[in-house]
Amino acid sequence: MGSWPDDVGIIAIELTIPSLYVDQEELEKYDGVSSGKYTVGLGQKAMGICTDREDINSLCLTVVHNLLEKNHIDYSEIGRLEVGTETIIDKSKSVKSVLMQLFEPHGVTDIEGIDTTNACFGGTAALFNAISWVESSAWNGKYALVVAADIAVYAKGAARPTGGAGAVAMLIGPNAPLVFDRGLRAVHMRHVYDFYKPDLSSEYPAVDSKLSIQCYLSALDKCYQSYCEKASKVFGQKIDLSFFDAILFHTPYCKLVQKSLARLHLNDFYLATPEHKVKKYAELKNLENIVLEETYFDKEVEKAALNSSTELFSTKTSPSLLVASQVGNMYTSSLYGGLVSLLISKKPSELAGNRVGLFSYGSGLASSFYSLKISEDANKFSALHKLISGLNSVSTSLSHRRKIEPEVFEKFMDIRQKSNHSAPYEPIGSIESFFPGTYYLTNIDEKYRRFYDRVSNAMNGHAH
């Protein structure tokens, strides 16, 4: 290929959420916990639910088909397809290979890329792979397509209300309206057993709750400090939160994200010069002598940081929490659901020129802080407009979901649990509430082979 492509980034983005949800206030009552525990304590409003009709393949088929259809992208225009997921239903056959059934009827099989797994980080790893491909000698001039998707379900107990499900697909290529900052990424990886899925017969993870929060916050500190150091060299200026118009986080539950933004504010204070500490962060002056690593669960430090970052949170992070508060943890797609939420929260003219910081975390652990810029180039304004208007259906989908009672949610969870890895299997969940264009599982045969169908996409006037 010729020259290195410019402005590699996101050209189109698509979100798929379940059509069913359970209300968190109703779940509090049903679970017999104190009122406000899930809604205020965790900051969650609702949780997306998949019955036995949906699995990781169906979610990914839906999001890919919808993205290509909506944006009038021909299957032959895709040269790489990457899937990031931790929802494993086959130890050998990738979700990517299942998605090839969309491409094969169009005679398209020359597509690189495969699945990537590490808890909630797989989607980001898939995205990084796609960017690298577009910037490499292997690039054939086509688009890369990145899919991040998961069904997050927990065993009965404290973690169950932090479930959710969703899928995000992103079309990656040069001259994009959302441009990744090149040569600027902070990464932090370690070996920890904070959240993992050692029982291959179960959908549920083993979670060390407190450790998972500590690992998330410590990875955030490490990544942010490393990013600030690297970015200060790239941009020749001191980097702190004022550098970003928006900061997005992997969102296990919204309260953790509010605490995370407060944590970055605390980092800014910690890294500030003595003069700035007094001038800019007067309200944190009592925390002058803290050791960051000792404060993950220090309520006084947390309260001071939260109180002094309320406005930062409402301007830079709160707009990105719409999908997370309504759908819950979507694991690999959670951070990108945050990007979708941000993009639909403002007019394109208000977003143009914004710099967005993104923190991706996957237990085990793998994490990264990186950034992108929403183009302010007048020539790209129509591309930005198109990208954002492609997300018009998100608010409609959220408001057209069907609420189910907590009892019914429990029943669905029991069915998922009992039918997990059964073959042959005929799903019993209804397809009535599915959004147009949704793929669903029709059956699993005696050889564990899965078959799917698609709800007619009235929007585009045809089925399958």
Number of residues that bind ligand ACO (CB under 6 A): 20
State yes or no: residue 207 binds ligand ACO (CB under 6 A).
yes
When binding is defined by CB under 6 A, the residue of 114, 158, 272, 415 that contacts ligand ACO is 158
State yes or no: residue 34 binds ligand ACO (CB under 6 A).
yes
SS3 (DSSP) at 380 = helix
Shortest CB 37 distance to ligand ACO, Å: 4
State yes or no: residue 189 binds ligand ACO (CB under 6 A).
no
Residues 322-381 that bind ligand ACO (CB under 6 A): 363
Are the C-beta atoms of 154 and 17 separated by less than 8 Å? no
Shortest CB 16 distance to ligand ACO, Å: 20
Q: How many residues does the chain have?
A: 464
Select the span of 28-36, 122-130, 131-139, 352-360 touching ligand ACO (CB under 6 A).
28-36
Are the C-beta atoms of 46 and 165 separated by less than 8 Å? no
State yes or no: residue 212 binds ligand ACO (CB under 6 A).
yes
- Please count the other Cβ atoms lying within 10 Å of the Cβ belonging to residue 413: 20
Q: Is the dihedral of CA 167, 356, 173, 86 positive or negative?
A: negative
Cα separation, 276 vs 221, whole angstroms: 20
When binding is defined by CB under 6 A, the residue of 49, 61, 159, 305 that contacts ligand ACO is 159
Cα separation, 16 vs 106, whole angstroms: 24
State yes or no: residue 117 binds ligand ACO (CB under 6 A).
no
Shortest CB 301 distance to ligand ACO, Å: 12
Q: Which residue is nearest to ligand ACO (CB)?
A: 41
Cα separation, 197 vs 234, whole angstroms: 39
Q: Is the dihedral of CA 411, 417, 420, 424 positive or negative?
A: negative
Look up tokens 């069904």; give the residue: 151
State yes or no: residue 136 binds ligand ACO (CB under 6 A).
no
Lookup: tokens for 351: 């977003």
Select the span of 184-192, 208-216, 219-227, 369-377 touching ligand ACO (CB under 6 A).
208-216
For ligand ACO, the closer of residues 103 and 249 by Cβ is 249
When binding is defined by CB under 6 A, the residue of 103, 121, 143, 195 that contacts ligand ACO is 195
- Residues serving a catalytic function are 86, 120, 250
Lookup: tokens for 192: 């920890």
State yes or no: residue 307 binds ligand ACO (CB under 6 A).
no
Q: Where are the beta strands (DSSP E) in 178-239?
A: 178-189, 195-196, 206-207
Shortest CB 368 distance to ligand ACO, Å: 14
Chain-centroid distance, C-alpha 269: 28
For ligand ACO, the closer of residues 139 and 361 by Cβ is 361
The pairing of strands 143-152 and 78-84 is: parallel
Give me the residues that bind ligand ACO (CB under 6 A), please: 34-37, 40-42, 120, 158-159, 162, 195, 207, 209, 212-213, 216, 252-253, 363
